[in-house]
Chains A and B, each alone.
Chain A
Amino acid sequence: MSTFEFLLQGLASAMLPMNLIYALIGVTLGTMVGVLPGIGPATTVALLLPVTYQLDATGSLIMFAGIYYGGMYGGSTTSILLNTPGESSSIVTALEGNKMARAGRGGPALATAAIGSFVAGLIATLALAFVAPYIVKLALVFGPREYFALMVLAFITVSSAFGNSALRGLTSLFIGLSLSLVGIDQLTGQNRLSFGVPDLLDGIEVTTMAVAMFAIGETLFIAAQGEQAPDKVEAIRGSVWMTASDWARSWKAWLRGTVIGFPIGAMPAGGAEIGTFLSYATEKRLTKHPEEFGNGAIEGVAGPEAANNASAAGTLVPLLTLGLPTSATAAIMLAGFQQYGLQPGPLLFATNPQLVWGLIASLLIANLMLLVLNLPLVGLWVKLLTIPKPWLYAGILVFATLGTIGANPSVFELGMLLVFGLVAYVMRVFDYPIAPVIVGLILGPLAEQQLRRALAISQGDVTTLVQSPIAAVLLALAAIALILPLILRFRGRGNVLSQMAASED
């Protein structure tokens, strides 16, 4: 069957009434949680994962797609109206969007963000559908050493290439890798680092870890900042509709943002928010209204928002075709797949095409639903922003623990939540990035299996890892990604990199 037929079939499956309801619940919950200040898409997905436990695999992944896109829409609403970007990819949106909101143009800012996200999401999801089969074909020739090399590249780009410090990024990564060792070794059945605790035999639960690291750690960190003046929510004054000139200035920015964002997200390397910075820089250079940049230029919202959504759809390319999560959100989605015993990768396209294409189709539908929901309901989302801080964060903690209790109602699991929440808090204080821990925890066991298979085939000869041209190129890229930023920082050019810091996703 051709891609087109698969996609149509997926659409038919996603259009089933029950699946539409799942998608609707997903986008509503996703927007609701995503709009809360300080909560990015990764946290949203981690918090809402347990809601999907009781569904079948297809329904749960469809709801998941909705949560994912909804969380991103919610995040951009927060950054425009509150100027507290929930995640690093919304920083640029806050830059111009909040200025627009202050100037009484919050409505058009939200509209261009919503429509831009829709346009970008639509194009990028279609691109995903058409690119994925080719990557799957490529991936089928990959052996263990190529996979291992690919994962090393992902490790390096997620942890050290971007951000403030290669040292702290790599330390985070290795904390994640160390934690991934806990439990029964999948190749020999031996216990490692479980210290006789039965709860640890299955390893550390990824969802517990993600909720602890993102939601609990963030809450503790915000608590530790003490009493501060409340953030000012900008009221939406005037029309939410865009004028003709807003449209004229936005549409090119949307398309440019999409073209910039998708390939960056689709590369098997981290740093999805780079696209938003590049798009902002591009719009700033091309605009006919340079004086407005910094004071609320609509292109500065339209382009980066489109780039953000396009690269989010792009990260699904390595996730679905190679099983390689390159952002924290993708890593948690992988955990969602794994709870049904599904391993994303080329085989999933062959063994379970309905599921994969159903998911891709529901991304399209979720995207459309959000456009319909988001603008009319924006007043409701804004109300959520005005919940007083004590109730808001107390509520977030209730939901964070609810997920863990629902998955596994044990005191031990709650203890892990607390311990890793505190670890994440300390890491935040010392400016260690969080995402590499999660990526390390999830990819660690996969990378180890591939490495040991490769070495078993070569009978322990390490040079086998660079004897395949593909693996050698990937490892060389990883080495460049590790060393080049070190040189740049050493020569005092680190500012560019820290601007691209991948702080949360």
Chain B
Amino acid sequence: MSLDNNKTTAEQRRPDWAALVIAAVLVVMAGVIFFDVSRLRDMGGYSQVGPATVPDWIAFCLVGLAIWTVFAAFRRDFPKREKQEIGPVAWVVAGLIAQMVLIRLLGFSIATGVLFGLAAAGFGARRIWISIPAGIVICLAIYWLFAVVLQLSLPAGPLEHLIQ
């Protein structure tokens, strides 16, 4: 994600598009809250204060904050963003997704070992044929410590069954 670092005067006049997107997200959140609780709105009872009251207030404030954000976007009040490298972030996210997919199939150690290897790759250790096996060994040790010694329930797979 390379975010724009606008510096020239011509660009100063343009609104901060990213901030406008944030404002839009806030409005969407407010809308979701407002419509989801609409079915609860007649549950206020005698005092007219029910499960929909506070969500409505929060939705209202979110819209207010969105308007404020729009003003800030046009005045370019947001601080300058540093350049973001998308590559390393993608490695780490890939690791987290891989763990999520694999954990039910292959158990804690293999899934988390893959996360370890891919995350390390994101931080510059690209030899994943070394780091993934190393990660699996580390995670197996962690599994032993937490699941066998501390009795925390962690999903077991083929490797975990070997050490139990």
Residues of chain B with a CB closer than 8 A to A165's CB: 77
Among A9-17, A133-141, A183-191, the one that faces the other chain is A183-191
Once bound together, how far apart are the Cα atoms of A32 and B15, in whole Å?
A: 45
Among B82, B96, B97, B154, contact of A225 (Cβ-Cβ < 8 Å)? B82
**Interface 1/0 per residue, B33-65 and A, CB below 8 Å:** 100110010011011111101110010011001
- Whether, in the assembled complex, A388 has its beta carbon less than 8 Å from a beta carbon of chain B, the answer is yes
Among A389, A397, A415, A460, contact of B92 (Cβ-Cβ < 8 Å)? A397
**Interface 1/0 per residue, B127-164 and A, CB below 8 Å:** 00001000100110010001000111111000000000
- Whether, in the assembled complex, A282 has its beta carbon less than 8 Å from a beta carbon of chain B, the answer is no
Once bound together, how far apart are the Cα atoms of A405 and B125, in whole Å?
A: 26
Residues of chain A with a CB closer than 8 A to B155's CB: 405, 409
Among A167, A391, A460, contact of B48 (Cβ-Cβ < 8 Å)? A460
Q: In the complex, what's the smallest C-beta–C-beta distance from B135 to chain A, in angstroms?
A: 7
Residues of chain A with a CB closer than 8 A to B46's CB: 459
- Whether, in the assembled complex, A178 has its beta carbon less than 8 Å from a beta carbon of chain B, the answer is yes
Residues of chain A with a CB closer than 8 A to B96's CB: 216, 397, 401, 414, 417-418, 421
Q: In the complex, what's the smallest C-beta–C-beta distance from A213 to chain B, in angstroms?
A: 14
Among B18, B61, B150, contact of A430 (Cβ-Cβ < 8 Å)? B18
The answer to whether A167 and B3 have CB atoms under 8 Å apart is no
Residues of chain B with a CB closer than 8 A to A187's CB: 51
Residues of chain B with a CB closer than 8 A to A51's CB: 150
Q: Interface residue count for A (Cβ, 8 Å)?
A: 63
Once bound together, how far apart are the Cα atoms of A344 and B82, in whole Å?
A: 41
Among B50, B86, B142, contact of A224 (Cβ-Cβ < 8 Å)? B86
The answer to whether A174 and B92 have CB atoms under 8 Å apart is no
The answer to whether B37 and A192 have CB atoms under 8 Å apart is yes
- Whether, in the assembled complex, A162 has its beta carbon less than 8 Å from a beta carbon of chain B, the answer is no
**Interface 1/0 per residue, A226-249 and B, CB below 8 Å:** 110000000000000000000000
Question: Within A441-456, which residues are at the interface with B (CB < 8 Å)?
Answer: 448, 451-452, 455-456
Once bound together, how far apart are the Cα atoms of A219 and B152, in whole Å?
A: 25
Known: A227-B124, A431-B79. A456 touches B115 (CB 8 A): no
- Whether, in the assembled complex, A390 has its beta carbon less than 8 Å from a beta carbon of chain B, the answer is yes
The answer to whether B115 and A397 have CB atoms under 8 Å apart is yes
Residues of chain A with a CB closer than 8 A to B112's CB: 398, 401-402, 405
- Whether, in the assembled complex, A406 has its beta carbon less than 8 Å from a beta carbon of chain B, the answer is yes
A to B contact number (C-beta, < 8 Å)? 188
Label chain B's interface by main secondary structure: helix
The answer to whether A405 and B103 have CB atoms under 8 Å apart is yes
The answer to whether B81 and A430 have CB atoms under 8 Å apart is yes
Residues of chain A with a CB closer than 8 A to B152's CB: 50, 53-54, 406
Residue among B32, B46, B62, B119 with the most chain A CB within 10 A?
B119
The answer to whether B40 and A190 have CB atoms under 8 Å apart is yes
The answer to whether A398 and B65 have CB atoms under 8 Å apart is no
Q: Interface residue count for B (Cβ, 8 Å)?
A: 74
Closest to B55 in A: A181
The answer to whether A456 and B125 have CB atoms under 8 Å apart is no
Q: In the complex, what's the smallest C-beta–C-beta distance from B68 to chain A, in angstroms?
A: 5
Q: In the complex, what's the smallest C-beta–C-beta distance from B53 to chain A, in angstroms?
A: 7
Residues of chain A with a CB closer than 8 A to B139's CB: 398
Residues of chain B with a CB closer than 8 A to A267's CB: none
Once bound together, how far apart are the Cα atoms of A187 and B43, in whole Å?
A: 12
**Interface 1/0 per residue, B65-90 and A, CB below 8 Å:** 10011001000011101101110110
The answer to whether B119 and A460 have CB atoms under 8 Å apart is no
Residues of chain B with a CB closer than 8 A to A389's CB: 123-124
Once bound together, how far apart are the Cα atoms of A185 and B53, in whole Å?
A: 12
Closest to A53 in B: B152
Residues of chain A with a CB closer than 8 A to B61's CB: 174
Question: Within A266-315, which residues are at the interface with B (CB < 8 Å)?
Answer: none
The answer to whether B58 and A456 have CB atoms under 8 Å apart is no
The answer to whether A422 and B37 have CB atoms under 8 Å apart is no
**Interface 1/0 per residue, B6-43 and A, CB below 8 Å:** 00000000000011001000100100110011001001
Known: A54-B151, A171-B65. A401 touches B99 (CB 8 A): yes
The answer to whether A394 and B135 have CB atoms under 8 Å apart is yes
Residues of chain A with a CB closer than 8 A to B84's CB: 224-225, 429
The answer to whether B50 and A188 have CB atoms under 8 Å apart is yes
Since A178-B58, A398-B138 are in contact, a sample of 7 more A-B pairs with Cβ atoms closer than 8 Å, ordered by chain A residue number, is A225-B84, A389-B124, A393-B122, A394-B117, A394-B120, A421-B96, A456-B47
Listed A/B pairs (22) with beta-carbon separation below 8 Å? A53-B152, A54-B150, A54-B151, A178-B58, A181-B58, A190-B43, A193-B32, A193-B33, A195-B36, A225-B85, A391-B120, A394-B120, A397-B119, A401-B99, A401-B115, A402-B112, A405-B103, A429-B3, A431-B78, A448-B54, A456-B47, A460-B44
Seen from chain A, the residues whose Cβ lies within 8 Å of a Cβ on chain B are: 50-51, 53-54, 164-165, 167, 170-171, 174-175, 177-178, 181, 185, 187-188, 190, 192-193, 195, 216, 219-220, 223-227, 388-395, 397-398, 401-402, 405-406, 409, 411, 414-415, 417-418, 421-422, 425, 429-431, 448, 451-452, 455-456, 458-460
